[in-house]
Chains A and B, each alone.
Chain A
């Protein structure tokens, strides 16, 4: 394996089990990040309407940046909630 060949450096160990997360927008190039698409954006929100961190969803940095912008745009036009718990 390539890792073993690279001069004795230990292979990076993945903690725990489970599969590697792949950015959904990189995996599916036809998927566009659009603030008007509330349903897709909604899958990246927590139950409380907060944006789920990229480390959980596996979204890459570039797409996470675009995602947060789209979510915030969608919030301004009430397509997505700021919060689901009202004061």
Chain B
């Protein structure tokens, strides 16, 4: 069977933490390869805010896999993904053969996180303080 170009975006439970999500990403990668797929790119977007609650979580780790596989392999990959508990959700999309590879995106857009905003505020205050000192 001819293989096709796919990409799968996986949402990993935030409880896994950064190392846990990386480990799981590696596991999914080997899963794809075990099914005869060839992974061309793995993008870790990191912890992102969700647009709505999923499994009572506000955030999740996003990992994107770009690979070639047969339709049957994809079926098996998807079946295995549904069995992974820390995987909240995923979407597989077939890519056109001539489509450019997914661009590395600066996905970490300035998150409107209260903690980060406070930190920024703190830096400003520090700068002003140092100016006054000199």
Judged by DSSP, the binding face of B is: strand
Interface residues on B, range: 10 to 19
Interface size on A (CB < 8 Å)? Answer: 15
Asked whether any CB of chain A lies closer than 8 Å to the CB of B117, the reply is no
Interchain pairs with CB closer than 8 A, number: 34
| A-side interface mostly | loop
Q: In the assembled complex, how far is the CB of residue A69 from the closest CB belonging to chain B, in whole angstroms?
A: 10
Against A, the Cβ 8 Å flags (1 = close, 0 = not) of B60-84 are: 1010100000000000000000000
The residues of B with any CB-CB pair to A shorter than 8 Å are 9, 11, 50-52, 54, 60, 62, 64, 89-91, 93, 100, 102, 105, 109
Told that A35-B93, A36-B105, A76-B89 touch, could you supply 8 new A-B pairs with CB distance under 8 A? A35-B91, A36-B64, A77-B62, A77-B89, A78-B50, A79-B51, A80-B51, A82-B51
